[in-house]
Amino acid sequence: MTDRDLEQLGINVIRGLAMDGPQKANSGHPGTAMALAPLAHVLWTRVMRHDPSEPDWPDRDRFVLSVGHASILLYSMLYLTGYELTLDDLKAFRQWGSKTPGHPEVHHTKGIEVTTGPLGQGFANAVGMGIAERWLRARFGPEACDHHTFVLCSDGDLQEGISHEAASLAGHLGLGRLVYVYDDNHITIDGPTELSYSDDVPKRFEAYGWHVDNVGEIANDTDALEDAVRRAMAVEDRPSMIVLRSHIGYPSPKFTDTAAAHGNPLGEDEIRVTKEILGLPPEETFWVPDEVLEMYRRCIPRGRALREDWESRRAGGGGSRELLEACLNGRGLSGWQAKLPTFEAGAKMATRKASGACLNAIADVVPGLLAGGADLTDNTGTFLKDQGVQSAADPGGRLIYFGIREHAMGAIMNGAALHGGVVPVGGTFFIFSDYMRPAVRLAALSEAKVVYSWTHDSVGLGEDGPTHQPVEHIAAMRAMSGLRVIRPADANETAHAWRVAIESNGPTALLLSRQDLPVLEGTAERADDVARGAYVLSTGGDDPEILLIGTGSEVHVCLAAAEELAAGGVVARVVSMPSWELFEEQDESYQEEVIPPELPALAVEAATSFGWERWALDSVSIDRFGASAPGKVALENLGFTPANVAEVARELLSELEDDDEG
């Protein structure tokens, strides 16, 4: 068997696995994996620099399967080239507890770079990877970072609006070393793409400023595929798009170029016929001959040699080793916390401004921080001073102007974080987290270390009115598993929240005020308490009768209400509760120390009451949309005054007393 014959057999084996996995699961998408088997072979054996024995090697090439439903293709390549997957894992495709879920999940399976599936997300993730790679190379030199990112995307990715946002920014930034292959197969689940889609994709991406190579009908020509990929790799000043005309389900006689091959197993009879065409044993499933496995496993020693060469170059390269390690680990330098500012009690400052002060104070000691906003950079406290603006002219710039692209910003942040080497910070008004939500959910699912600076966090933002005033958003974000939500009461709690964000893994959402808030007495020393999610800020005296629980801009209202209650002889304890998630992590004894079960609790938060029944008997909250008025006026009319909180507290105590008497 010649080398060429062996390569073709390997490609046909990939196609066999692409049919067998979904068939055994009775679920999955075989067609795209079958069509792109030659491209996958070329990338994984001829082009990409990867080491299956060390999947997390920092300078590896990145592979993003934005067309995540074709996951059987990626799993087949991971198995064949010697990652941790086994043939039994392929047989367990889409089953409970398997390493081969329906769509790729980072951290779940070695060799998966990002969690994809929702179309367009991987497309945008790769832009973040391109930013991270170029920034690290500019900062530490090619000895430390010198690789490419390869992306397979589909018509579904390009139809989703996020692809426009991400592609526009990538072209504007002039990001090279991004190689996208558009699988132009003319098929969607509904049928031919012509039903709903007639974009001129090459012209579209040329308009974004991309390098475009419309290669046409070469999906089965491995040499032509390699040539196209290498042409794109040589482009350093802009991202590249290879437009590849493929035939979904090839070479199935019945289902090639049909929607049926997109999202359904082909069926045993059709698989048997197709395997005969491919020269595979028609009665065998998951067939991988030894010579094919040996061919693909050559990736292991080749990858190991590439990694060891990088390790040697890195050891002799320039730049600070400590700085690079801090970047790669997403952490601060030793003692970085000392740089966080302390704010004087009695002063007034919006927490968004306090957050911006914290960000700039720690920029030099948390060297991987890259920050910016969605056209709201200064408004959201994400403006990094004197750190350069990320651009083709300044690839080492740490300030990113994302433009009005919230959805892409979120996904780009995920890609940059999962690439490693940077800690992305992105800001917008909290109401516009709606535009980011799909990417935020994937950040939580992926444990991506990102920081959201979501400001103008309540009706207190004022005159812009209910379209801009978040009400239900806090509850919605708290409902998302894996997302750490922190709503600090003042500037000092904001600094403590930054400590939590940097020292923790996974995403952190900072909910910050537009309006000035008083810096409270005693918060400067409560870093550890903020990290616990809630703490007693004011005991009020011995034998408290009621507990007032506040978050964010309502904590100072609770303190003032406690004073009013005290004037009437009612002792009230005040708890600041910046984070439900952090508080839920504490043991039961601490939780009961802060919120004693025998003490009636009243929650105060300028947001929906949804969920507060877990911690409080009643709440001063908002179960309606806001209103256009100055922020102070809106808050007063919606009941966020010391007088109203005190009155509601007295009513609650009276009701409880009546219940006891009854």
For 548-575, b/e burial (b = at least 16 CB within 10 A) is bbbbbbbbbbbbbbbebbeeeebebbbb
Cα-flanking dihedrals φ and ψ of residue 383, to 5°? -85, 115
Structure tokens at 526: 């409560």
Q: How far apart are CA 160 and CA 165, in angstroms?
A: 10
CA distance 88 to 430: 45
**Residue type, position 195, single letter:** L
The count of residues in the chain is 662
Token duo for residue 310: 């990088």
- Rounded Cα distance between 103 and 77, Å, is 15
Taking alpha carbons only, the member of 41, 50, 111, 46 closest to residue 75 is 111
Q: Whole-angstrom Cα distance, residue 583 to residue 580?
A: 5
| 406 belongs to the catalytic site | yes
Rg, the chain, Cα only: 28
**How far is Cα 622 from Cα 424, in angstroms, rounded to an integer?**
32
The residue among 148, 226, 187 whose CA lies nearest residue 35 is 187
Q: Where are the beta strands (DSSP E) in 526-592?
A: 535-538, 546-550, 572-576
In sequence order, the β-bridge partners of residue 511 are 454
- With a CB cutoff of 8 Å and minimum separation 6, the contacts of 438 are 118, 121, 162, 407, 410, 411
For residue 36, give the amino acid letter: L
* Rounded Cα–Cα distance for residues 76 and 98 (Å): 14
Alpha carbons 474 and 580: distance in angstroms, whole number: 11
Annotated active-site residue in 406, 493, 564, 581: 406
Closest CA to 464 of 637, 626, 636: 626
- CA neighbor of 138 nearest in space, from 397, 471, 422, 505: 397
Q: Identify whether 438 is preceded by a cis peptide bond (ω within 30 of 0).
A: no
602/175 Cα distance (integer angstroms)? 52
- Pairing, β 423-429 against β 369-373: parallel
Nearest to 183 by CA among 33, 48, 74, 42: 33
Least Cα distance to 68 among 42, 94, 98 occurs for 94
Closest to 222 in 3D by CA, of 2, 63, 17, 10: 10
Active site residues per annotation = 406
